[in-house]
């Protein structure tokens, strides 16, 4: 039995997962409402909240699983990338917990964690496959040949896809977080109404900053009344452009690697248009798209556990290695 803890951004999460990949519990306490008034995640605000929530969330995960700590054989925790102050809350709590019980600790890379959301039951996926990880913090294409380790093929040169959704939603006055808001209103709009450019960058990288600027100009050109009337069209066209970019790059990546099977993970994997545009792809289950600890515990099954006392000095890392 593995206890997972995740505090890399604005979700405080804990989960209990079995060695064969069954989720016994997965508790996620989202701080989205807390950060909404700032229009994005504020690191210090997030870290303060993680400290308030970490114990109750771990307790809730154990309760939901019907387990006591005595049944936990390993503690898994997100080591990075993410907000260092936020990561350190989870890492410190996990180290204290593991040390006091002489349990092994498994430091998990957050991005590998997202990929490992595909290895949970029911319907666990087996490598090899080409994977798109698209979230508020990351947009990365990966070649996955074995569990727990993937090879980076390309990434966004500026904004992450989720960030592009957030910024677009702000320009359209749709609030935060933006992905779900745009997805919802886009259903009433015409995706061909506006011709937004999909940036062309070399290789398997992506760029969303030009798209955001195009939306800004389109919004600026409209009178307030007109903007109101065309908001759904703008959202639908903007979403279409993001989805096209992601789908195009994922297909190209699959071709480049020869790993034909494709998968999508991360918060943007919940987007309904992206799901519709990739009928042949494996998607992370909806409840495992946004940050959670079940994926961290899942990943811990495939990466090296640090036995006591090797993890006592474990530190967080902020950015991609």
Partner 1 sequence: MLVLAFDTATDVTTSALVRDGDVLGERVGEARTLLEDLDELLAGATAGASDLDALVVGTGPGSFTSTRIGLAVARGLGLALSVPAAGVSTLDALAAAHPGAYAVLDARRREVFVAGPRAVSPDELELEPGTLCIGNGAVRYRATLERLGAEVPPDDDERHLPHARLHAALARELGPVEGIEPIYARLPDAELSRT
**Which spans of this chain sit near partner 1 (rule: CB under 8 A)?**
37-38, 42, 44-45, 47-48, 51, 54-56, 58-59, 69, 84-85, 88-102, 309, 312-313, 315
CB-hemisphere CA count at 13 Å for 120?
Answer: 32
What gap in Å lies between CA 152 and CA 66, rounded to an integer? 38
- Which is closer to partner 1, CB of 35 or CB of 230? 35
| Residue 135 touches which member of partner 1, Zn ion, none, C-beta under 5-8 Å by kind | Zn ion
Residue 172 backbone dihedrals phi, psi, to 5 degrees: -90, 5
| Residue 90 touches which member of Zn ion, partner 1, none, C-beta under 5-8 Å by kind | partner 1
Q: Which of positions 122-141 make contact with Zn ion (CB under 5 A)?
A: 135
Per DSSP, the three-state class of 68 is coil
Q: How far is the CB of 99 from partner 1 (least distance, A)?
A: 5
Residue of 281, 221, 201 lying closest to 289 (CA atoms): 281
- Which is closer to partner 1, CB of 101 or CB of 187? 101
- Which is closer to Zn ion, CB of 135 or CB of 257? 135
Token readout for 117 is: 């959301």
Q: How far is the CB of 16 from partner 1 (least distance, A)?
A: 13
Q: Distance between terminal CA atoms of the chain?
A: 29
Q: How far is the CB of 287 from partner 1 (least distance, A)?
A: 24
Q: How far is the CB of 80 from partner 1 (least distance, A)?
A: 13
- Which is closer to partner 1, CB of 166 or CB of 233? 166
| Residue 88 touches which member of Zn ion, partner 1, none, C-beta under 5-8 Å by kind | partner 1
Q: How far is the CB of 22 from partner 1 (least distance, A)?
A: 23
Residue tagged 């799901």 (tokens)? 275
DSSP state, 156?
Answer: B
Q: How far is the CB of 59 from partner 1 (least distance, A)?
A: 7
- Which is closer to partner 1, CB of 91 or CB of 236? 91
Pairing mode, if any, of strands 129-134 and 139-146? Answer: antiparallel
- Which is closer to partner 1, CB of 38 or CB of 126? 38
Per DSSP, the three-state class of 232 is helix
ω before 207 within 30° of 0 (cis)?
Answer: no
| Signed CA dihedral, 207, 78, 59, 27: sign only | positive
DSSP state, 187?
Answer: T
What gap in Å lies between CA 257 and CA 143, rounded to an integer? 7
- Which is closer to Zn ion, CB of 233 or CB of 291? 291
| Residue 126 touches which member of Zn ion, partner 1, none, C-beta under 5-8 Å by kind | none
ω before 320 within 30° of 0 (cis)?
Answer: no
Q: Which of positions 281-300 make contact with Zn ion (CB under 5 A)?
A: 291
Q: How far is the CB of 319 from partner 1 (least distance, A)?
A: 17
Question: Which residues are at the interface with Zn ion (CB under 5 A)?
Answer: 135, 291
């Amino acid at each position: 039995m593995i206890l997972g803890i995740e505090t890399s951004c604005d979700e405080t999460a804990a989960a209990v997962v079995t060695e064969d990949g069954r989720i016994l519990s997965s508790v996620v306490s989202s701080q989205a409402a807390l950060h909404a008034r700032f229009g994005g995640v504020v690191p210090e605000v997030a870290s303060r909240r993680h400290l308030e929530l970490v114990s109750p969330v771990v307790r809730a995960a154990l309760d939901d699983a019907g387990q006591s700590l005595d049944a936990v054989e390993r503690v898994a925790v997100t080591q990075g990338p993410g907000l260092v102050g936020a990561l350190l809350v989870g890492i410190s709590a996990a180290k204290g917990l593991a040390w006091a019980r002489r349990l092994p600790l498994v430091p998990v890379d957050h991005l590998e964690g997202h990929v490992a959301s595909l290895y949970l039951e029911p319907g666990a996926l087996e490598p090899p496959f080409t994977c798109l990880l698209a979230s508020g913090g990351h947009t990365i294409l990966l070649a996955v040949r074995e569990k727990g380790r993937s090879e980076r093929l390309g990434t966004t040169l500026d904004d992450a896809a989720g960030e592009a959704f957030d910024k677009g939603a702000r320009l359209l006055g749709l609030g935060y977080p933006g992905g779900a808001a745009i997805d919802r209103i886009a259903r009433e709009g015409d995706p061909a109404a506006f011709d937004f450019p999909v940036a062309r960058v070399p290789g398997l990288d992506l760029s969303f900053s030009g798209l955001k600027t195009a939306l800004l100009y389109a919004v600026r050109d409209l009178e307030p009344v007109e903007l109101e009337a065309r908001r759904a069209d703008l959202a639908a066209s903007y979403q279409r452009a993001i989805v096209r970019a992601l789908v195009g790059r994922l297909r190209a990546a699959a071709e480049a690697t020869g790993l034909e099977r494709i998968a999508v993970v991360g918060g943007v994997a919940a987007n309904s248009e992206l799901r519709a545009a990739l009928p042949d792809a494996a998607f992370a289950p909806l409840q495992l798209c946004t940050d959670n600890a079940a994926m961290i515990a899942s990943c811990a099954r495939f990466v090296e556990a640090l036995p006591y006392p090797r993890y006592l000095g474990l530190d967080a890392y902020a950015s991609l290695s």
